[in-house]
Amino acid sequence: MPELPEPSSAAGSATASSAPRSLAEALRARDDASLATLLHARPDLLGPVPGDITQLATRAGTRASVVRALDRLDRFALQTAEALAVAPDPCPYPVLESLLAGEHGGGSGSREDNGARAELPRALATLRDQALVWGDDERLRLVRTARELLAPAAGRPSPTGLGPTVAEATAGMSPTRIQEIVAAAGLPATHDPVSAVAALTGLFTDPERMSALLDEAPAEAHQVLGRLVWGPPYGEVTPNPTPPVRWLRDRGLLLPASARTVVLPREVALHLRGGLAHRETEPLAPAVPAAREHRPQLVDANAAGQALAALATVEELVKSWEHAGPPVLRAGGLSVRDLKRTAVTLDVSEPVAAFWIELAYAAGLLASDGEADERYAPTPAFDDWVELPPAERWSALARAWLPATRTCGLVGEQDAKGRTLSALGPDLDRSAAPEVRRRVLELLAALPEGGSADPEALLARLDWERPVRGASPLRARLARWALTEAEVLGVTGRGALAAHGRALLEHRDPAPPLAPLFPEPVDHVLLQADLTAVAPGPLRRGVGEVLAVLADVESKGGATVYRFTPGSVRRALDSGRTASDLHAFLAEHSITPVPQPLAYLIDDVARRHGHLRVGAASSYVRCDDDGMLNEIMADRRSAGLGLRRLAPTVLAAQAEPGSLLDGLRSMGYAPAAESPTGDVVVTRADAHRTPARSAPVPVPDGPPVPDTTLLAAAVRAIRAGDLAATAVRKEPAAASASVVPGELPRTSPAETLATVQAAALTGSAVWIGYVNADGAASQRVIAPVRVEGGFVTGYDHTADEVRTYALHRITGVAELAEEHL
């Protein structure tokens, strides 16, 4: 099939004879690379692969596909489409250029050169590549659906601020009223409304006559026009309008839109604007300069510190949910109370806590356990994750964050139905989040190493690249959240992209550049006389786990401060360790001598630990010191335990053993649980794990972008289908009257055999009708290469492969015309 070159700039328009008459013809004239570009830019057109070019053109003009394509245009390409929507159809290139860049020569319609004239070919090429515009430069056409979306409609002005044309605004007006307007405008009477409207349109589009008419207008009338000229073009009027409004309405400079509303016709507004479709055009992308520059080494070190803190926070979060994780709400998600409790545990704000929770969930470290009393708990993947080297653990978190669609910034807000959005809830996915997140990092990566950008400049650039046609500010919010999250996670440092963040963005492993930046884990602490211990760096896993039981974390940072309390020491004893174990541990892992106050604290708690024994009666307390039991009985705080003396050294209680233990501990005692045999029970809670869970799958933002292999196969299939659908066939020599021209006639078995044998000998292609074993009929273009045994083998242009067909299933065959051989 001959290929028709398509113009891509203002120069070199195609001749009228070769100009396409429809979008399908324009697409058919494209080369394979151009079709692949279209399918790559609009992957929704591939679901499924169109059968031919006509199907492709039809699908490209559907409302859903056009809306998606418009939403992905940059601002100037969208402004170009908006200008075409209010321009004549078809529109010559010079007319479009004047709508966007003004007239040449510095007249009333000129605009200061802002690059619009130079950038228009690029914007137009973008629209053509995406099949939103077709036709040569003399007859540019915006696809009908895009025109309907962007052009003014009743009660809905165009994004340009222009209203309807004179013909559209007078469509429901009486012929008498139209003739009155024509007469008031100084035009001769006409014999019908159509010619009257044409005369009025001619007046409003003639600059000289229009200027003369406006020179006669009262000054107040010019003020009225000035308020409407840039939109919105509608204004309210009273039943008895002011003289300036009446003057404008009588001459058609304002036309009625309803009983109390008038509209400024598009032709009048364009004259007042000097022929410009937009008040301001933005042909060039806003620059994103480096607002501040830092040494790259400082950026990497700062980001690595944040990354190390992120690992500690995520580990602390997940471990805090090991034994009694928060319950799952009936509608799904985490309650506000549990979010607050987690924020206190992590010592962060609630929005930051929501980020860590969602990140752990996205990485597959947290999930619901699926039990009857459903709770959130660590997954088995967490146990594997904590054993990885620190850089690899961070890499797993970062790789889960970058493509995640769950948006923690929405937590606490309300949805359209007034329901509060909760962390881990079902309504937090926003499909645009990964694209915005990646684009923010790409803009940072384009800066010099160590450079950070002004957030407002980043937002301005993103807004130009994907202007919001609606009123939703979601993309701007997603961008702000991406900057904050990248800094907290350690992808950036001081606002600049770190080396490991750059590796993450470029699909490389971020662990190698990050690993050298992490400090080596230490196995020692500095014990101090005020019952604190300072860890000068990240502790080795075994040391950190023991110290986390023996002491409470008081502060975090470059060095972690732990505080020893009676409660923390008792916790260590409850876990099965003895006082001698604790002394030996501290002596081994402290580079300073164990302070006497700490040694006394351990011995004192150990001496009292287990002095009281609690068992099941319902429960009981026994103690060799009957004086201590007397003291407990006399304490008012023991009233709720239901205690009574059974023997001088035994008290019975109505409370359960666990409640009795908690009650005595709250009174300042250190009881120990015992078994029925009298042995001390070590109360070490089992860490709860969910069944194996996979990480949540991000919600796709439309169809996936096809790769080159799929694009090439799709283009071949569309071309082959189009060949079968549009190939010109030779009419049979003796066609019957019942044969419809252009349709495949039925042929006898002998005629079918003779035709395919001849095609195999000459190497030509034929058009066949075929019914498969399931009874499904199809039409195909094949090039036979062998005919034997009742079968024909040949290259099937429709399927783009060699196939074999049974001759008895071929319903008809026809030769192709010469130009298709």
First to last CA, the chain: 10
Confidence of residue 720 (pLDDT cuts 50, 70, 90): confident
Region 274-278 average pLDDT:
93
Residue 355 CA to residue 59 CA, distance in Å, equals: 40
pLDDT reported for residue 98? 93
pLDDT reported for residue 682? 53
Mean pLDDT (the chain, rounded)? 87
Q: Does residue 8 carry a pLDDT above 50?
A: no
pLDDT reported for residue 66? 96
* Token pair 């019942």: residue: 738
Q: Does residue 519 carry a pLDDT above 50?
A: yes
pLDDT reported for residue 11? 37
Virtual CA dihedral for 203, 208, 209, 212, nearest 10 degrees? 140
Virtual CA dihedral for 664, 669, 670, 674, nearest 10 degrees? -40
Region 438-462 average pLDDT:
96
Query: Which residue type sits at 645?
Result: R
Q: Does residue 410 carry a pLDDT above 50?
A: yes
Beginning with the edge strand found earlier in the chain, give each strand of the sheet holding 532-535 in spatial order: 526-528, 532-535, 560-563, 552-555
Confidence of residue 623 (pLDDT cuts 50, 70, 90): confident
pLDDT reported for residue 113? 73
- R_g over Cα of the chain: 39
Higher pLDDT, 694 or 79: 79
**Strands 766-771 and 644-647, sheet pairing:** unpaired
Domain 727-820 falls under CATH 2.30.30: yes
Q: Does residue 258 carry a pLDDT above 90?
A: no
pLDDT reported for residue 774? 84
Three-state DSSP class for residue 805 = strand
Higher pLDDT, 287 or 730: 287
Distance (Å) of CA 258 to CA 142, 237, 244, 320, 747: 29, 10, 19, 65, 65
Q: Does residue 775 carry a pLDDT above 50?
A: yes
For the chain, give the percent of residues with pLDDT over 70.
Answer: 90
Confidence of residue 80 (pLDDT cuts 50, 70, 90): very high
* Token pair 């999930």: residue: 367
pLDDT reported for residue 106? 47
pLDDT reported for residue 198? 93
8 Å CB contact between 534 and 526: yes
Three-state DSSP class for residue 475 = helix
Confidence of residue 281 (pLDDT cuts 50, 70, 90): very high
Confidence of residue 16 (pLDDT cuts 50, 70, 90): very low
**pTM for this one?**
0.78
Confidence of residue 617 (pLDDT cuts 50, 70, 90): low
Q: Does residue 618 carry a pLDDT above 80?
A: no
Region 359-376 average pLDDT:
92
Q: In the chain, what are the domain boundaries?
A: 16-150, 166-272, 292-513, 526-592, 613-673, 727-820
pLDDT reported for residue 341? 95
Residue 652 neighbours by CB under 8 Å, 6+ apart: 617, 618, 619, 620, 643, 644, 645, 646
Q: Tell me the per-residue pLDDT of 136-163, one tens digit each, with 9 for 90 and over.
A: 999 999 999 999 999 887 767 788 999 9
pLDDT reported for residue 728? 53
Confidence of residue 575 (pLDDT cuts 50, 70, 90): confident
Region 308-327 average pLDDT:
92
Q: Does residue 456 carry a pLDDT above 60?
A: yes
Q: Does residue 820 carry a pLDDT above 60?
A: no
Confidence of residue 363 (pLDDT cuts 50, 70, 90): very high
Residue 297 structure tokens: 């080494």
For the chain, give the percent of residues with pLDDT over 90.
Answer: 54
pLDDT reported for residue 371? 85
Instruction: Enumerate the H helices of 288-409 as residue ranges.
Output: 296-320, 336-346, 350-362, 380-386, 390-401
Q: Does residue 68 carry a pLDDT above 60?
A: yes
Higher pLDDT, 110 or 21: 21
Range with the poorest average pLDDT among 170-179, 392-401, 485-494, 511-520:
170-179
pLDDT reported for residue 746? 82
8 Å CB contact between 83 and 96: yes
Q: Does residue 239 carry a pLDDT above 60?
A: yes
Name the residue among 63, 73, 9, 1 with its Cα closest to residue 35. Answer: 1
Residue 314 CA to residue 589 CA, distance in Å, equals: 25
Name the residue among 607, 574, 611, 568 with its Cα closest to residue 586. Answer: 568
Distance (Å) of CA 1 to CA 4, 29, 31, 724, 726: 10, 9, 11, 12, 10
pLDDT reported for residue 576? 81
Name the residue among 657, 684, 685, 659 with its Cα closest to residue 673. Answer: 657
Confidence of residue 738 (pLDDT cuts 50, 70, 90): very low
Region 191-213 average pLDDT:
91
pLDDT reported for residue 681? 59
Q: Does residue 12 carry a pLDDT above 70?
A: no
Q: Does residue 107 carry a pLDDT above 60?
A: no
Three-state DSSP class for residue 618 = coil
Q: Tell me the per-residue pLDDT of 750-771, one tens digit each, with 9 for 90 and over.
A: 888 888 888 888 888 888 888 8
Q: Tell me the per-residue pLDDT of 628-637, one tens digit each, with 9 for 90 and over.
A: 888 888 888 8
Q: Does residue 308 carry a pLDDT above 60?
A: yes
Higher pLDDT, 684 or 97: 97
